[in-house]
């Protein structure tokens, strides 16, 4: 449903889309014959504006499609609410290190043949109501398969459903399979044949992340179909649950980190759920000063991310130099945008992600007096924030306002900036420019998290609650620090808060200000152990081995 290819293409909202883009880039590097399909999102996700109290307002994102994409000639159609809706698509080519291209196709219903409403179906990412979303999923799933066929992809070995949004593709494959055998009705063998073609990745344990539609709405949009009464396909008492549809019709299913695989296994008992931990595309998320450093000492790291394992031999003064450059870029941007007057020599925490309740952006501000005391007695602290709240997520919007309130309350001793309109460029600037990457999700709701991996590629260690990838990536005091001593402390209650302050006060700040050499050891291990592993080269190879073969 979303993909982050370039910051200026507003076709993504957060980690799910950025991961899709990084996956495509890794496939191009590794010459994996893959194509991706998504919706055009002419009006994007949204452009975020924040007033002086942190109240968010949204505007449609404006972008010039022809500047990024090439229109393709095929036209296909799908039936929605009994109408024929015509589709075209636009192509983007992700180029790998050696020039191999992976195409990404963006479906578009804005054609004069379509009704006014149908022309808007590929406008907004995660906008509109249930009906709008279901219509979009018809375009993505059913229209997507038809477009691929029209583009000449006659035999596709595997369909990878990245989240349940694309699950309706299974219905099109069932129809194709039945048609091939000259039958109208769908048989058990057809279901088995489709299962052999499909793999599914689930990305969140949060119920709102799993689309469900009433069967009434489904019948209005898709018409009445035989499969709606087949329990092997549709399961859930009068509802179409896109996750169950994908689970039922895939032969391989995975979560996006070990813990998330286990959590999903509990959530969906009766299915076998494996895990492949997410990664990030190393060359994309490594800031320029570190790219130059790696080019000098670890040539070939772009083709072979595993070679970042040799980062332990990087000369520390040059690592500090590269980090200082990346940090300067961030601090200058912050000061230019927000007039906060941040200091490049002051310890800087970074926190940027979608503003939604479980991410707990305000956890750091639970005890303002304690935070002030730490900054006054142990060492100065400044914090850079960014993140958009979904237009309908009032909890997320309140979270942004609470950060603004803390910003005012902590002035002038602790400087806090909240950067507006978080996107991939800002993500890169903040993950590379912070001294430590802060993450405080409510376990077990962070399926993986990837921004800490971006930080790791730039030598920036994480201070994070043990959830998602950090359970695998954290070696205490070596690659960063846990908040809460084990997963159980990451929950509610005051323990996690006091652990956060304790770690800052007793370990992280004294190390940063007093033992720069040992802080650099942590930076080197962050690159060598986590940068070399939590990348999409390793992830893509695992998908090839476990899911695509
Ligand atoms: C990496 C990235 C994310 C994901 O961040 P998490 O901390 O993993 O949630 C979201 N949005 C943007 C723009 C990103 O670059």
Residue whose CA lies nearest to ligand 1 atom number 11: 14
CB 102 within 8 A of CB 24: yes
State residue 232's pLDDT score: 86
Average of per-residue pLDDT values in the chain: 96
The terminus-to-terminus CA distance of the chain in angstroms comes to 24
Reduce the DSSP state of residue 248 to 3 states and report it: helix
Q: Looking at residue 234, what is its pLDDT?
A: 84
pTM of the model: 0.97
DSSP character string of 435-471: SEEEE---TT--S---HHHHHHHTT--EEEES-TTHH
- The per-residue pLDDT for 493 is 61
**Is residue 59 within a helix (H) or strand (E), and if so which, with residue range?**
strand 56-59
User: Whose Cα sits closest to atom 3 in ligand 1?
Assistant: 15
Q: Exposed e or buried b for every residue in 464-484, given b needs 16+ CB within 10 A?
A: bbbbbbbbbbbeebbbbbbbb
Nearest CA to ligand 1 atom 1: 451
Residue extents of the structural domains in the chain: 15-279+541-548, 282-533
Residue of 451, 457, 469, 534 with the most ligand 1 atoms within 8 Å of its CB, for mutation: 451
Q: Do domains 15-279+541-548 and 282-533 have the same CATH topology?
A: yes
Beta carbon of 21 within 6 Å of any ligand 1 atom: no
Q: What is the distance in A from the centroid of ligand 1 to the CA of 85?
A: 34
CA dihedral 480, 485, 486, 492 (to 10 degrees): -110
pLDDT tens digits along 14-50:
999 999 999 999 999 999 999 999 999 999 999 999 9
Q: Does 124 sit behind a cis peptide bond, omega within 30 degrees of 0 on the bond before it? A: no
CB 418 within 8 A of CB 385: yes
Kindly calculate the radius of gyration of the chain based on its CA atoms and give it in whole angstroms: 24
Q: What is the Å distance from ligand 1's center to 24 Cα?
A: 16
Q: Taking the mean position of all CA atoms in its chain, how far away is CA 52?
A: 28
- Does the Cβ of 14 fall within 6 Å of ligand 1? yes
* CA 352 – ligand 1 centroid, Å: 7
Residue 34, ligand 1, Cβ within 6 A = no
CATH number for the region 282-533 comes to 3.40.50.2000
Looking at residue 454, what is its pLDDT? Answer: 98
Question: Considering only CA atoms, which of 278, 274, 105, 103 is closest in space to residue 200?
Answer: 274
Instruction: Please tell me the CATH superfamily of domain 15-279+541-548, with its number.
Output: Glycogen Phosphorylase B; (3.40.50.2000)
Q: Is the CB of 353 under 6 A from ligand 1?
A: yes
pLDDT at 209: 80
Using 70 as the pLDDT threshold, list the residues of the chain that sit under it.
Answer: 486-493
Q: What is the pLDDT of residues 378-418, one digit of tens each?
A: 999 999 999 999 999 999 999 999 999 999 999 999 999 99
Q: What is the rounded distance in angstroms from the CA atom of residue 20 to the CA atom of residue 50?
A: 28
Please tell me the distance from the alpha carbon of residue 506 to that of residue 511, in angstroms, as a whole number: 9
Q: Which residues pair with 352 in a beta bridge?
A: 386
Ligand 1 in reach of 15 Cβ (< 6 A): yes
At residue 490, the pLDDT reads 53
How far out from the chain centre does Cα 456 lie? 16
């Amino acid at each position: 449903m979303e993909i982050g290819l370039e910051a200026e293409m507003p076709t993504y909202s957060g980690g799910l889309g950025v991961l899709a883009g990084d996956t495509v880039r890794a496939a191009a590097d590794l010459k994996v014959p893959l194509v991706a399909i998504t919706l055009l999102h002419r009006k994007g996700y949204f452009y975020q504006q924040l007033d002086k109290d942190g109240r968010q307002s949204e505007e449609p994102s404006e972008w010039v499609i022809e500047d990024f994409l090439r229109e393709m000639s095929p036209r296909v159609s799908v039936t929605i609410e009994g109408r024929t809706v015509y589709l075209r698509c636009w192509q983007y080519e992700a180029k790998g290190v050696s020039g191999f291209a992976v195409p990404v196709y963006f479906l578009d219903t804005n054609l004069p043949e379509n009704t006014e409403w149908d022309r808007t179906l590929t406008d907004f990412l995660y906008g509109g109501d249930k009906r709008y979303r279901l219509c979009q999923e018809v375009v993505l799933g059913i229209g997507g398969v038809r477009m691929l066929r029209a583009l000449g992809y006659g035999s596709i070995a595997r369909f990878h459903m990245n989240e349940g949004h694309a699950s309706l593709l299974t219905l099109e494959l069932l129809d194709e399979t039945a048609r091939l055998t000259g039958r109208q009705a769908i048989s058990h063998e057809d279901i088995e044949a489709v299962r052999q073609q499909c793999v599914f990745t689930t990305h969140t344990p949060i119920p709102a992340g799993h689309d469900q539609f009433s069967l009434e709405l489904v019948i209005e949009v898709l018409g009445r179909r035989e499969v709606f009464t087949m329990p092997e396909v549709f399961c859930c008492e009068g509802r179409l649950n896109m996750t169950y549809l994908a689970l039922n019709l895939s032969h391989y299913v995975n979560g996006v980190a070990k813990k998330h695989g286990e959590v999903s296994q509990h959530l969906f008992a009766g299915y076998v759920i494996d895990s492949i931990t997410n990664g990030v595309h190393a060359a994309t998320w490594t800031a320029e000063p570190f790219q130059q450093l790696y080019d000098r000492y670890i040539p070939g790291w772009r083709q072979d991310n595993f070679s970042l394992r040799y980062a332990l031999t990087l000369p520390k003064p040059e690592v500090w130099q590269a980090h200082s450059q990346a940090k300067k870029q961030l601090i200058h941007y912050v000061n230019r945008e927000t007039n906060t007057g941040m200091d490049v020599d002051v310890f800087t925490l970074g926190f940027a992600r979608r503003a939604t309740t479980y991410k707990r952006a305000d956890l750091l501000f639970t005890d303002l007096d304690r935070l002030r005391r730490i900054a006054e007695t142990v060492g100065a602290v400044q914090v850079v924030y960014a993140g958009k709240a979904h237009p309908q997520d009032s909890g997320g919007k309140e979270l942004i306002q609470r950060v603004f309130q803390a910003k005012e309350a902590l002035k002038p001793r602790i400087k806090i900036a909240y950067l507006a309109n978080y996107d991939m460029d800002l993500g890169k600037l903040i993950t590379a420019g912070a001294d430590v990457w802060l993450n405080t999700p409510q376990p077990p709701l962070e399926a993986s998290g990837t921004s800490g991996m971006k930080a790791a590629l730039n030598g920036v260690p994480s201070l994070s609650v043990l959830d998602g990838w950090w359970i695998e990536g954290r070696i205490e005091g070596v690659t960063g620090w846990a908040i809460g001593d084990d997963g159980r402390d990451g929950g509610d209650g005051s323990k996690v808060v006091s652990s956060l302050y304790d770690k800052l006060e007793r370990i992280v700040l004294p190390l940063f200000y007093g033992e720069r050499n040992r802080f650099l050891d942590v930076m080197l291990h962050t690159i060598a152990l986590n940068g070399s592993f939590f990348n999409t080269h390793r992830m893509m190879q695992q998908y090839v081995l476990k899911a695509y073969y």
